[in-house]
């Protein structure tokens, strides 16, 4: 994914904006990434990817998502149609729920 590609397709939040926000704010939990233009608070498709970016940052690794924007959008379209996530290689492979204890965006307001 390139820096100007959108990670949160609902709110048009690019990878570049997310990288800058995470680097600047150093959010203690992934749910705080929602403060970056509402990322992750719409259909929730991007939440596992936001968690991955957060994990990469916390680990001191480069923040990157190894998926093409075309494939990413197609997978989101299938997710919105079926409500199910695919977990091919390179996919975060997590399916947080609204009450997820991992602090993913859209979870509890104090998380």
> CA torsion sign, 68 to 8 to 2 to 25?
negative
Q: Looking at beta carbons only, is 29 or 60 nearer to ligand FES?
A: 29
Nearer to ligand FES, 60 or 99 (CB): 99
Give dist(CA 40, CA 51) in Å, integer.
10
Kindly tell me which residue out of 14, 15, 32, 40 binds ligand FES, with binding defined by CB under 6 A.
40
In the complex, least distance from residue 99 CB atom to ligand FES, rounded to whole angstroms: 17
**Cα gap 89→97, rounded to integer Å:** 21
Residues 45, 7, 107: CA angle, nearest 5 degrees: 45
Figure out which of the listed residues 1, 10, 37, 73 binds ligand FES, where binding follows CB under 6 A: 10
Kindly state whether residue 33 participates in binding ligand FES, applying the rule CB under 6 A.
no
CA atoms within 13 A on the CB side of 81: 7
Smallest separation, CB 31 to ligand FES (Å) = 13
Residues that bind ligand FES (CB under 6 A): 8-10, 40-46
């Amino acid at each position: 994914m390139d820096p100007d590609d959108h990670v949160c397709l609902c709110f048009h939040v690019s990878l570049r904006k997310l990288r800058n926000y995470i680097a600047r704010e150093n959010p203690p939990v992934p749910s705080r990434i929602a403060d970056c233009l509402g990322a992750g608070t719409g259909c929730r498709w991007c939440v596992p990817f936001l968690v991955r970016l957060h994990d990469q940052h916390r680990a001191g690794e480069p923040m990157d998502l190894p998926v093409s924007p075309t494939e990413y959008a197609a997978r989101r379209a299938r997710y919105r149609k079926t409500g199910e996530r695919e977990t091919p290689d390179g996919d975060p492979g997590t399916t947080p729920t609204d009450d997820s204890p991992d602090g993913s965006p859209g979870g509890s307001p104090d998380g």
